[in-house]
Structure 1
């Protein structure tokens, strides 16, 4: 690549740091970390919205908007009839809970006034509680949402009340859109970590059953027990195009597992089933195995990890995937197989020439101590377990009231409600990402890459860059186990990021350069202390197939500068520069 070309790419990178990135009808202010309180603070954004012909998508995530700022933006949207996609996750950090509904109401009113026909609403990571759902209730019931295809409300603290409001709004929208001849056909529904519990799940199941159009359902960590799971199972069988079903970390027990297994017999398009941490137990697993063996022709992934499954049930699951040519992963880790059971499962998979598809079994809990109880006793114990779980959750639940939207407190609170007391305690990813150490990374076990990948929001390039630096900071060139753990985790994270359509590669690279202190940020992001591990890991990343070659020249241009920020990295810097230079495409 010529020097002129590299300069052009660097110029392009500089442009990407500008306040708005425009591409195919999209206006983006994503991840800028700006605190926008009043109309004056958003004057420039308002003007750019007004001047943008054919605006289809607006990205506001990763900033924080006050009521007046939201109202000013709303005013600018009132004439945008072509508008379709609201990417508005993580936009109220630090705001009072009471500020959020009026802000959302004003934005919703503007879209209705514009006669917009929405396809995407993403309000994830806004811990707004039931009142926040009330803030979008009018919008969801309006004709603006008759065309809605994706609704993403992950980690919003909706609670049972919010779940019921949401369900009623979707049912109303379906009814009115059907009367106009174009029924609501929602394809993607995401509402993990919302404390929906049984009542919220049952309400939403009614909406799902009515629509019958869902292709993806993601509802992990919601404190749902078998009554809610059974209601969702009934809804699932009325959505024949369902491809992904993620109910990770809820409490099925045998009853929920069997109900879900029956429902899945009606779903021939399912590709990903994630029932990890769901306590399906042996009877539930055997029922699921029967469904898998009889149908599900294009199944790619089956996760039944940490479900208290015994060796006999696990072997039935293993044998059930024998003729699944599309299978990419079977996860049975963290169950009760014992040493012999683990070996038997591994041997069966090897005999079927599918050994590479079996996830690690390193966290197996060993054979259960008392496995001789008859079925009736097991059923009685199950009912007691669930009663205890429900009572504990009722005792723990506090009113959802005001106060500031503090993400860490919300996360701790949500974990308290959504993790069943009888489930194995998952490794603490948040502790590692907050205070990284090699020991903490290793203690996450063989699931570390998956756990980290699930925790990091790869749609936010700055958060992805920060996670990259935290993981790579513990890299040790002289410790192969730690080195492998770091590189596996980084590869999983960045593969997911680069395969996500909304992920912006240039923006990720620019975020890294900002955190390295090689580019100054308008948002005054504080650079990290660069250590050799950061550059050694990056040197590995740039050689991987998932890393775009057009970003190599940008990195090479900045790494070759005489900058003191990298002085302490010595050989690691030299090796990275050499690798980047050799990777540059010829002009």
Structure 2
């Protein structure tokens, strides 16, 4: 070992004791290749009688040096916290698993009981996960509270191995009467994709103890997000959920929104850069209105959300007394939309909570609507993301949602009802009589289009002749009342679907919009005046319709009537 290196180490050692049982070599940039290079460090470890935390991050550790340190750790039963991030810069990938195995062996021999293990920023890949396999399965990790593996290049394979190891740790710890209660899990920038995320979701569901989950930038789309959503609702004490820079789209956001409805302690939600889009944002608004009582931070930035949907989110924040920050930057609001959002937040005395809107991408061009289905099609190409081992429907059903779009109530309908649905007419509607109750298919949060399609078919038959008019309005009331009798999330999904099919709200997929007729708007005008439609429903409709009147210009007089009715109801 060179004399200047020894001098550097000696100087460093004089500053390593930081109290609370911590020995720190953090950020010293030491190149620790062999046993000789860590002699001083090993001596420090051996002489530290009550060593509880060892910080080695920011150095570079070779296999032989790791073995020497591991030997010193064999007597350190009190060690609880290992901060070993950024520890293998410049090392061969094949060296890292061997070094990790040695360190883990030392901890197991000592009988240590870890609470924190941080191996972030070590590009060890799936083989690196194998290097900590035995450690994570052992009693040394039955007490683990924080596992930090950010930016480790685990990939799908590493994610699946880690999930298996955590599941085994949970099983063994339960058998020994000391169940694993992991609270913080960090695994951003690991390219876990759908398979890795779904495997980990199963482990998370078994734990049920997580308080913070950070998995940003992992190439996860709606299938993996749905799996994680199912797992999160079993972790009732979850406080922080960070899935930034993955790809939710509508399906993933709906699943996650429903899961969030089960969580009363969540304080930070980061779904920025996740393509939440308009329908997803409205679903999140529903959950905000109905739950999330202690939420402090909400990040829906860079999600292709338009002005109307952003304003619906703002409306839903009115009773959120703990809110500190709302980030809607980088969306598609336009200059007027940004100003409208600022005004809406200021009106609630929450203007200072709104993050900068400096990166807003402006209102979407009309031709953007022609490409609405492209991203959704990309989501279905799961093979490109390595997703082939889990069935999304399984996770959806665990969330209490039916995944099958075919509705038994429709397939078993009387022939007269099926005939009406195939070719609606006022005459057929009148002939149905009591059989009209069979018109509404089973309410389905993932596939609400069938129910809304029936609603629009009935509304399209509106006329001023007293008898058919009464039949249409009574049927419309019956259908919409039932649709709005469910949770806030279900009702908001119903309205967003209705507005998408009417061409008022930008949606996903390639579903054909209905040919708008005055009856669609006049039936809604009637519904706005009924007791089953709540004031916040009217506010949602007014917010979106008033911002998109141009899409309804073919029925201008009916639009005026509907907007007027909505304004009156909002003031009630």
> What is the TM-score normalised by the length of structure 1?
0.62
Match in the other structure for 1:529 = none
Aligned to 2:378: 385
Pair 1:123 & 2:119 matched: yes
Structure 2: tracts of 5 or more residues without a match: 1-9, 387-572
The correspondence of residues 182-197 of structure 1 with structure 2, limited to 5 A, is 182-197=178-193
> Is residue 2:60 matched to residue 1:64?
yes
Q: Residues 260 and 21 (structure 1 numbering): CA distance in 2 closer, same or farther, change over 3 Å? A: same
Secondary structure of the 1:112 match is helix
State the match for 1:74 in structure 2.
70
Equivalents in 1 of 2:382, 2:207: separation in Å? 31
Offset, 1:343 = 1.6
Change (3 A) 1:307 1:389: farther
- Determine if the alignment matches structure 1 residue 53 to structure 2 residue 49: yes
Q: Are 1:198 and 2:191 an aligned pair? A: no
The 5-angstrom pairing of residues 415-564 of structure 1 reads none
For the 8 Å contact 1:21–1:29, the answer to whether it is kept is no
Aligned to 1:138: 134
Counterpart of 1:358 in structure 2 is 354
Deviation at 1:363, TM superposition (A): 1.2
Q: CA–CA distance in 1 between the matches of 2:216 and 2:37?
A: 37
* Preserved contact between residue 77 and residue 110 of structure 1 (Cα < 8 Å): yes
Indicate yes or no: 2:291 matched with 1:326.
no
Cα distance in 2 for partners of 1:198, 1:29 equals: 37
Against the structure 1 CA distance between its residues 234 and 371, is the aligned structure 2 distance closer, same or farther, given a 3 Å change threshold?
Answer: farther
CA distance in 2: counterparts of 1:54 and 1:372, whole angstroms: 63
1:281-305 alpha-carbon deviations (Å, 9 max, x no partner): 1111110110011111111100000
Distance 1:209 1:215 in 2: 13
Of 160, 163, 168 in structure 1, the residue corresponding to residue 164 of structure 2 is: 168
Counterparts of 1:181 and 1:175 in 2: how far apart (Å)? 10
Render the CA deviation track for 1:328-370: whole Å, top value 9, x for unaligned: 1100011111222212111111111111111111211111113
Name the SS of the counterpart of 2:286 in structure 1: helix
Equivalent residues in 2 for 1:171-250, closer than 5 Å:
171-250=167-246
Say which SS state the counterpart of residue 14 (structure 2) adopts: coil
The answer to whether the 8 A contact 1:192-1:218 is kept is yes
- Per-residue CA deviations over 1:52-92 (Å, capped at 9, x if unaligned) read 11111111111111000000000001111111111100110
Q: Take 1:312 and 1:371, find their aligned partners in 2: how far apart are those partners?
A: 18
- 2:106 and 2:368 map into 1 onto residues whose CA distance is 63
Q: How far, CA to CA, are the matches of 1:34 and 1:180 in structure 2?
A: 40
Q: Residues 126 and 153 of structure 2 are in contact (CA less than 8 Å); yes or no, is this contact kept in structure 1? A: yes
Distance in 1 (CA, whole Å) between partners of 2:13 and 2:56 is 15
- Tell which structure's C-alpha radius of gyration is larger: 2
* CA shift for structure 1 position 34: 0.5
Task: Name the TM-score, length of structure 2 as normaliser.
Answer: 0.64
1:314 counterpart = 2:310: yes
What is the distance in 1 between the residues matched to 2:180 and 2:382? Answer: 36
Q: 1:385 to 1:247 in 2, by over 3 A?
A: same
* CA distance in structure 2 between the aligned counterparts of 1:189 and 1:28, rounded to whole angstroms: 23
Contact 2:249 2:376 survives alignment (8 Å): no
**Any gaps of 5 or more consecutive residues in structure 1?**
1-13, 395-587
| Paired position in structure 1 for 2:20 | 24
Q: Match for residue 98 of structure 2?
A: 102
1:114 to 104, 110, 114: 110
Deviation at 1:387, TM superposition (A): 4.7
2:283 aligned to 284, 287, 290, which one?
A: 287
**SS of structure 2 residue aligned to 1:23:** coil
SS where residue 92 of structure 1 aligns?
Answer: coil
Query: How far does residue 15 in structure 1 lie from its aligned partner after superposition?
Result: 7.9
Residue number in structure 1 paired with 2:4: none
Secondary structure of the corresponding residue to residue 89 of structure 1: coil
CA-atom RMSD in angstroms: 1.8
State the 1:137 CA deviation. 0.5
Greater RCO (Cα-Cα under 8 Å, separation 6 or more) = 1
Determine helix, strand or coil for the equivalent of 1:273: strand
> Are the equivalent residues in 1 in contact too, given 2:13–2:41 (CA < 8 A)?
no
**In 2, distance between residues paired with 1:275 and 1:383?**
18
Contact 1:336 1:368 in 2 (8 A): yes
8 Å Cα contact 1:292/1:320 also seen in 2 = yes
2:303, 2:193 → 1: CA distance? 19
Contact kept in structure 2, 1:155 and 1:193, CA below 8 Å: yes
CA deviation after TM superposition for structure 1 residue 267, in Å: 0.5
Counterpart of 1:302 in 2: which secondary structure? strand
Give the counterpart of 1:347 among 337, 343, 350.
Answer: 343
Spell out the pairing of 1:296-307 with structure 2 (5 A cutoff). 296-307=292-303
**Residue-by-residue CA offset, 1:219-262 (whole Å, 9 max, x unaligned):** 00000000000000001100010000000000000110111100
Question: Do the aligned partners of 1:150 and 1:188 also contact (CA within 8 Å) in 2?
Answer: yes
